[in-house]
Structure 1
Amino acid sequence: MPVNPTIQFYLDQFKNQMSPTYEQMNPLELRRQEDEVLTRFQHKEHVHEVEDLDLSLPGRTLPIRIYRSGATTAPALVYYHGGGYVTGSIETHDAICRTLANEADCTVISVGYRLAPEHKFPAPVEDAYDALVWIGEHASELNVDASRLAVGGDSAGGTLATVSALITSERGGPSLVHQLLFYPVTGTEENLPLSLIDYATGYLLDEGLIRWFQQQYFNDENELTHPYASPILSDRLEQLPATTLLTAEYDPLRDVGRAYANKLISLGVPVTYKNYGGLIHGFTNYYAFVPEAKRAVKEAAHCLKTAFENQKNILG
């Protein structure tokens, strides 16, 4: 299947723009530009209630945004935005969180974790897990059902979601019923995956940008093999909750995500995996005007809603 025509038009426009080499790229300027673009073109659905809070954590304060689909106590998805650990924010992912709240009939809590290069590995990991713990401990105040918590995210945010789930297994909680992962960065056990070769350039996220993000985030190359950076290398994967993992055909990280799904399946973790033809990395940013991306988001939300309903039935 060829690249979706709407996405191809966007890619063609991007190719025609003058851009600096990665050696010249300024992280703060890239963050500003992406924030401006992604917030400008969002289609924001109405949700029952939106609330902004600041979490007081040891040594720092983190913003969260709560999207409630109704007035009653509800299950919750703790969501981490993508952006290579360098860009992205609660604002850039406002629309997708609204949609997930409505489609899955749940509360979505978006976490504004610290970004690199100001805050390198493992600072975002610590933020992701500590925010999850705080949410679990304050569930009643947030009108959240603590017995039905899930984590989710896209790209680097998907990594933070599954790594947070790994840490819960190490530290004894909070208990999670599901993880919802859009094209996560999960590392590799073997040789370079074919998708990293076949789609190394020309599809927005390219090999050079991936390496640049790594340089901003990690203190040295040895950290790339840490399970909190490459969760596929963890020895605790069998303890992860049921998983929905979605990838895109024209994404250099496609095969990395597929390998992670297969590894979880081999260890007995229930997994719903699907690769979407015609789409590229970051397709959740285009779901409002790309029907295939909208279908992917809706199907992901359906899996999440089903997980919440199943847990409710189990608990009686």
Structure 2
Amino acid sequence: MPVNAKIKYFLDKMKEIPQMPLDKVSPEDYRKRENRGLDFQQPKEQVHDVEDKLLSLDGRDLPIRIYTPEGLAPYPALVFFHGGGWVIGSLESHDSICRTLANTSGCKVISVGYRLAPENKFPAAVNDAYDSLVRIASEHKEYEIDPARIAVGGDSAGGNLAAVACIMSKERRGPSIIHQLLIYPSTGYEEEPPSMQENGEGYLLTGEIMQWFRSHYFNRDEEINDPYASPILYHDLSGLPPASIFTAEYDPLRDVGKAYAEKLRASGVPVFYKNYSGLIHGYANFAPVVPEAKMALEEAALELHHAVTNIK
């Protein structure tokens, strides 16, 4: 299937804009560009209640945004980590995504503003993801959530953090996680898959941009082989929470997410996997303006709803 027509129009317009070489672009410049793009977002879904707070962890406070849908407490919960290559992204950049996830899944969504690189390099974001999960689970009464129905999730780099948080929780006998929702996740690879070459140019996320993100996130190149950076390299994925993994046809990370789904299944973990034809990396951010992207995001939310309501 060709690239979705509305997304192709966006990509074609992007090509018309002169781009500064990435080696001349600082993280601050990239974030400012992202913030300017947010000014043009479409109207967002209304959610019953949206509240900003600070989550106090050892030595730092993280901003969080809590989305409470219609319903009665205690709610099932999704602790959500935004994408952005661990360098960009924010509570605001993924606000529309979290609104859809909350309304469609019935979960109270708690979006975590973890520390970004290069100001805070690996494994700062990993520690923030796990520590925030632990703190939220321990304070479940305050958040009016059901401790037996806590899921984690995220897109792209946020999917990476969600997957690693599950591994850390298994290792450390931390909070019980009912489900992991991974949307086009960056989970690492043992051998570079075909999608990296097939989709490495022209579809928003490029091989060059991924290398730029890695250069700012990692202290040393070898850290990419750490299982907390590439969870597919973890030695024993058995016993992890059931997963829903979603990928896109024109995404360099397409085969990465598929390989992680296959390795989880081979380790005995129940997995729902779906690849969306015609879509690109980051499609969830297109949901307000691209019906096919909205349907894909809502399907992810429905899988989450089934996971937190069909408890055996």
Same fold (TM over 0.5): yes
* Residue in 1 that maps onto 2:54: 54
Aligned pairs for 1:80-229 (under 5 A) are 80-190=81-191, 192-229=192-229
Secondary structure in 2 aligned to 1:120?
A: coil
For 1:124 and 1:310, the matched residues in 2 are separated by 31
CA contact (8 A) 1:38 1:285 kept: no
Could you give the per-residue CA deviations for residues 184-237 of structure 1, whole angstroms, max 9, x where no partner exists?
A: 0011112x2111011111111101000000000000111000001100000231
CA deviation after TM superposition for structure 1 residue 40, in Å: 3.3
* Residue in 1 that maps onto 2:310: 310
For 1:40 and 1:228, the matched residues in 2 are separated by 35
Normalised by the length of structure 2, the TM-score is 0.98
Structure 1, 279-288 or 51-60: larger mean CA deviation: 51-60
Unaligned stretches of 5+ residues in structure 2: none
* Residue in 1 that maps onto 2:248: 248
Coordinate RMSD, CA, aligned: 1.0
CA deviation after TM superposition for structure 1 residue 43, in Å: 3.3
For 1:131 and 1:36, the matched residues in 2 are separated by 29
* Residue in 1 that maps onto 2:230: 230
CA contact (8 A) 1:39 1:91 kept: no
Identity of aligned residues (%): 55
Could you give the per-residue CA deviations for residues 242-267 of structure 1, whole angstroms, max 9, x where no partner exists?
A: 10000000001101111111111111
* Residue in 1 that maps onto 2:65: 65
Amino acid at match of 2:97: I
Aligned pairs for 1:244-283 (under 5 A) are 244-283=244-283
Normalised by the length of structure 1, the TM-score is 0.97
CA deviation after TM superposition for structure 1 residue 72, in Å: 2.3
CA deviation after TM superposition for structure 1 residue 33, in Å: 1.1
For 1:42 and 1:184, the matched residues in 2 are separated by 25
CA deviation after TM superposition for structure 1 residue 101, in Å: 0.5
CA contact (8 A) 2:236 2:267 kept: no
For 1:262 and 1:290, the matched residues in 2 are separated by 29
CA contact (8 A) 1:104 1:301 kept: yes
Amino acid at match of 1:2: P
Could you give the per-residue CA deviations for residues 153-206 of structure 1, whole angstroms, max 9, x where no partner exists?
A: 00000000110011000111100000001000011112x211101111111110
Secondary structure in 2 aligned to 1:237?
A: coil
Structure 1, 36-45 or 165-174: larger mean CA deviation: 36-45
Aligned pairs for 1:4-83 (under 5 A) are 4-38=4-38, 40-70=40-70, 71-83=72-84
CA contact (8 A) 2:242 2:269 kept: yes
